[in-house]
Structures are given as structure tokens and as C-alpha cells.
Amino acid sequence: MSDLQDITVGKLLEKTATEYGSNEAVVYHELGLRYTYSEFEKVCRQAARGFMSLGIEKGEHMAIWATNKPEWVISQFSTAKMGGVLVTVNTNYRTSELEYLLRQSDATTIILMDKYRDHSYIETLYEILPELKTAEPGKLKSEKLPKLKNIIMLSEIRYPGTFSWEDVLSGSNQISEEMLDNRMKDLKPEDVINMQYTSGTTGFPKGVMLTHSNLVNNGLNTASCMKLTNEDRLCIPVPMFHCFGCSLGTMASVTVGATMVPVIEFTPRTVLQTVEAEKCTALHGVPTMFIAELNLDDFDQYDLRSLRTGIMAGSTCPIEVMKLVVNKMGISEITITYGQTESSPGITMTRTDDPIELRVSSVGRALPNVEVKIINPATGEELERGQQGELCSRGYHVMKGYYKNPEATKEAIDPEGWLHTGDLAVMDENGYCKITGRLKDMIIRGGENIYPREIEEFLYRHPLIVDVQVLGIPDKKYGEEVTAWIILKEGESLTAEELRTFCKGKISHHKIPRHIHFTDVYPMTASGKIQKYKLREQTLDLLAERTK
């Protein structure tokens, strides 16, 4: 069992660079960019001094809005060195979401790229901040966002009112190494260093405050469960703005001196090309990413023999997909991690030597130094093994709270320090947990409790189905009815009636989906979570169309 580390993120990188200086730290296959740990430590110190030259103080909030570019990883570790709190921004955000985040987080600085796909980030920013076009860099005066001063662009183009990344690096000349060291001495492991906004599938997103200690130790314990070492090379196609990328990905790597191999923007082909070219031994992804990689028409052309471990997380993993990842991709030691942003994020994890049955039927057992219990959500009493209830967790990994939201913090963390996840689960006698649904997702049809996960697992057995999402929609007669949204294998066809016939006699009548819809894609958050509430809205729209 790994001991907890009482260290800041900045000091952790320094320590790793001392131990594994000549190891490759960061490799961008697409850009031909490589840093050893010594070089990476040096560039992070340079950027940290550059941020200080802009007058950014310890504890100031610095937002970053970009894909997994090299500057993202550098910003993660350099802001941690100079004590800025990195506020991660979802790459899918639009005007009102960005404005809400910048205002609610009190960000004084934003680092951003100029565009993402067909979305101009800079135009979005000008829309919120028309004053920026005439402002002097670093001296923005905005009515809407009075705290925001510094706009740092990751772009070749010079935009009015903004600094370039080069300006930040060259500004480092104004700050001595000693000034940075003094700043680092002033930081404590329990200081907040990172803020991530929860997906906001209900209500406004909340800013989750995570400390050096939260992230370092979650990274360390995750690495130990994956058996990740300084000899591993981890391909990271999941977004850095999400805990999966910046805690289970970059942070886990730095705790053991492994090589980070980020993919700037996920495409299944880029991932497999990167794994092959860089001989990656580990690969992270949400189930939909693994599904996309496995379904590439030229999948068999890639040499993936170097792969050994990795993490599948973000949403529940279909059993069939897990088997393909182990048998077809050869990731024999793939692990499943379960958690949420509020727990930095890992709570439970399977181990590399767990039998495949356990790795497909559970989300593992508590991470080292973490407590987990299942309670009756109505009474708060702890339940016996094998009984379904709400999963709660306590330990070093629990967030400091939601930023400027004490009521929500109180709702999530009880006086004994237990984080209430809102997830329904069952724990077996060995401590392995099965997530059976969300407290809020449970379908109550005519007084019967129905768990979408159970129906999804059953429908995955159909040979033509690639992916399936089950949810409840309001119904006059039964209160709620079961709806299934299905993605079929390419070129295949299936009718709703054929699918119902497939279900008959195998699952209870009340669990057979009343409404069945076929689609090519699901609405998703940028971190790969499927937005069931949007599928619910789409179902209701379709039903309204039919009754016109």
C-alpha cells in the first residue's frame, strides 16, 4: 500500500525530474515534440516565472480553455509551481457557459486557443468582452467580468488586448529563480490548486476545489493500482480539462516518472497511430473511445502489442466492450476506475491481476487509503454487504468543497467527512462495488424500481448492437416508461419489434423498453459522458411529433 505524500504538485515534479531526469516526460507524436523530465521541469519553471511576471499572485484563479495542447500540460504544472489555481474549461462551452464560469470562478487570467473545430474561441471572448479589442494587454477593464485582466492566446496570430504564450515565456526574464523558489516554499499541500466545473447535468455547474494533496495522492494511488512505473508510456486521449486527463493521466504519470503521450484531440485513428509509433504500454479512454477504436475498418493493421494496462472510466463499461479491449486490443491488465470530480476523481478501482469477470462486473474496490460504504439513502444507515444503496466515500481524495457554494458543499459532504456520490451501488463481501445506477436515474414504473444499467447490459448481448442507453420518461398510466436509444453496427438494421421479441422471456415484461429509438450518435459532454437528460428531451419531442 503506497503511503500518502505530503507534497505540492510543483515539488513533486521537481522530485521526479531529479530521480528520472533523462526519462521522456512528455511526447507529442503529432508534433514531433519531446521533453525529458529535466527539460519539462525547466520549461514549467520558465512558464511559472512568466506568469509571475504578469503580476499573478498565489491563489489567483487562472482559467484554461484548450484541447490537450503542450501548453495545457505545461500550464498544469507551472501554475502549480507559482501557486495559481488552474480553472479548467470544457472545450464545448459556448458564450453563456464561459461567461458564467469566468464570473463564478473569479478568474483573473484566461489561457485559450483561438478556435476549436468550427467554434472561434476568440470571437466568443470578444462577444463577452467587447472592451478587449481596445484594451492594453494585462489591463482589461470589463463591466461583466471586473476581475479578469490577463488574456493569454495560444496562437500564431496577434490579437488586440492579449498576451501570446511567447510573451509569457520571455517575461520569465523579469523573475529570478530564487523568487520562484520563495513562492514555492509558501505553498502547502492542502492549498487549492485546481478547480473543475461539474458537467452540470442538473442546474448550474459547480466549481469543485481540489488541493495539491487531492491530486498528487489520487494520481499516486491510481498509478499503483495500474502498476504504472517509470518504464511505462501512457497514451492520454481523454481531455485534460477533466479529472480523467489531468489526474488519472498526467498526475499519475508524474508521480512515478512515466512518459505522458497526449493526443491533442481524440480521433480513434490518431490514438492507434500514436500507440503504435510510440510503443505505448498504457491507454486511457471512456468506453465510447474504445468502441470507436475497435470499430475502425483498418483496426487490424495497427501493431498494439506494446499495450499492457490503462484505465477505462467515465461511464459504465459494457461487458462485451471490456472483453474486446482485453482480447482484441491486448490490454490484458486494463483497469476500471470509478469516481467523480468531487473525489479527485478515483474512489474505487479494479486491480491489474483481478480476474476479467471482476473487471467487467464491478468497478473494483476502494483505492489505497480510501474508505467506502453503502448507505440507505433514506435513513443514512450503513447497509450490509450485498444490499443496494448510495455509495459514500471518505479520505484524502475528497474535495475541499464547491467554490462559493457552502449549501451544495454541505449537501455533498456530511459532518463526518463522507462524500455522498448520488450513485446507487452494491458491495460484495470482498469490498468490490457494482454501480447499479444514479439515485436520480432510477425508473419507477407502476411502483416497480427499474435500473437502466441492468437493461443496458442485457441489450448489449444483441449481436447487432454497438451501444445502448436506457432511461425513463414520464407516462400517464405507469408514472414512468422505459426508453432505449440504440446505436447499431455499421450497415446493419433492426426494428423495434425485433428487439422486443429478443427481450421477451429473457427479462421481465415491465423492463422491456416501451419506446425504442435508433441513432448514430449520443449527445455528450466533452469528457465523454452521455447526457441522458438530452436523450430524454429528444424522446419527448419525438412523442409530441407523433401525437400531433
Strand 259-262 relative to strand 207-211, pairing: unpaired
**Ramachandran angles phi, psi of 291, nearest 5°:** -60, -45
Tens-place pLDDT, residues 104-137: 999 999 999 999 999 999 999 999 999 999 999 9
Residue 51: pLDDT above 80? yes
Residue 415: pLDDT above 50? yes
Q: CB-based contacts of 89: which residues, under 8 Å, 6+ apart?
A: 63, 64, 65, 98, 101, 110, 112, 197, 241
Supply the mean pLDDT for the chain: 94
Q: Are 216 and 187 in contact (CB under 8 A)?
A: no
Give the CA angle between residues 247, 316, 531 to the nearest 5°: 85
Q: 274 or 1: which carries more pLDDT confidence?
A: 274
Give the distance, in angstroms, between the CA of residue 105 and the centroid of all CA atoms in the same chain.
Answer: 19
**Ramachandran angles phi, psi of 439, nearest 5°:** -50, -40
pLDDT-above-70 percentage for the chain: 98
Of 339, 338, 283, 277, the closest CA to residue 302 belongs to 277
> May I ask the CATH class of domain 443-546?
alpha beta
22-61 in b/e burial notation, b at 16+ Cβ within 10 A? ebbbbbbbeeeeebbbebbbebbbbbbbbbbbbebeeebb
Residue 283: pLDDT above 80? yes
3-state helix, strand, coil in the chain (%, to 5): 35, 25, 40
Of 522, 524, 502, the closest CA to residue 513 belongs to 502
Which stretch, 312-321, 337-346, 350-359, 448-457, has highest mean pLDDT?
337-346
Q: 393 or 97: which carries more pLDDT confidence?
A: 393
Tens-place pLDDT, residues 339-394: 999 999 999 999 999 988 888 889 999 999 999 999 998 789 999 999 999 999 99
Q: Which three cell numbers stand for residue 534?
A: 438530452
Beta strands in 297-369 (DSSP E): 309-312, 333-339, 346-349, 365-366
- Alpha carbons 37 and 25: distance in angstroms, whole number: 5
**Which whole number is the average pLDDT over 464-477?**
92
**For the chain, where do the domains classified as CATH 3.30.300.30 start and end?**
443-546
**Ramachandran angles phi, psi of 37, nearest 5°:** -65, -35
**For the chain, where do the domains classified as CATH 3.40.50.980 start and end?**
9-17+26-187
pTM: 0.85
Residue 507: pLDDT above 50? yes
In terms of phi and psi (left: phi > 0; alpha: psi -120 to 50; beta: otherwise), the region of 472 is beta
Task: Output the pLDDT for position 92.
Answer: 84
pLDDT band at 508 (very low <50, low <70, confident <90, very high): confident
Task: Output the pLDDT for position 377.
Answer: 85
Task: Output the pLDDT for position 201.
Answer: 46
Residue 245: pLDDT above 50? yes
**Ramachandran angles phi, psi of 350, nearest 5°:** -80, 165
Residue 548: pLDDT above 90? no
**For the chain, where do the domains classified as CATH 3.40.50.12780 start and end?**
208-438
Task: Output the pLDDT for position 523.
Answer: 92
The CATH number, out of the four listed (3.40.1280.10, 3.40.50.300, 1.10.1240.10, 3.40.50.980), of the domain defined by the range 9-17+26-187: 3.40.50.980
pLDDT band at 2 (very low <50, low <70, confident <90, very high): low
- Alpha carbons 441 and 390: distance in angstroms, whole number: 13
15 sits in which H/E element = helix 9-19
- Alpha carbons 279 and 275: distance in angstroms, whole number: 5
CB-count burial class (<10 Å; 0-12, 13-18, 19+) for 226: buried
**Which whole number is the average pLDDT over 518-529?**
85
Residue 200: pLDDT above 60? no
- Alpha carbons 95 and 121: distance in angstroms, whole number: 9
Fold exhibited by the domain 208-438:
Rossmann fold (3.40.50)
Lowest mean pLDDT among 193-207, 223-237, 520-534: 193-207
Task: Output the pLDDT for position 215.
Answer: 98
Written as one letter, the residue type at 290 is F
Q: Are 25 and 36 in contact (CB under 8 A)?
A: yes
Lowest mean pLDDT among 63-72, 389-398, 535-544: 535-544
**Which whole number is the average pLDDT over 432-445?**
84
Task: Output the pLDDT for position 1.
Answer: 46
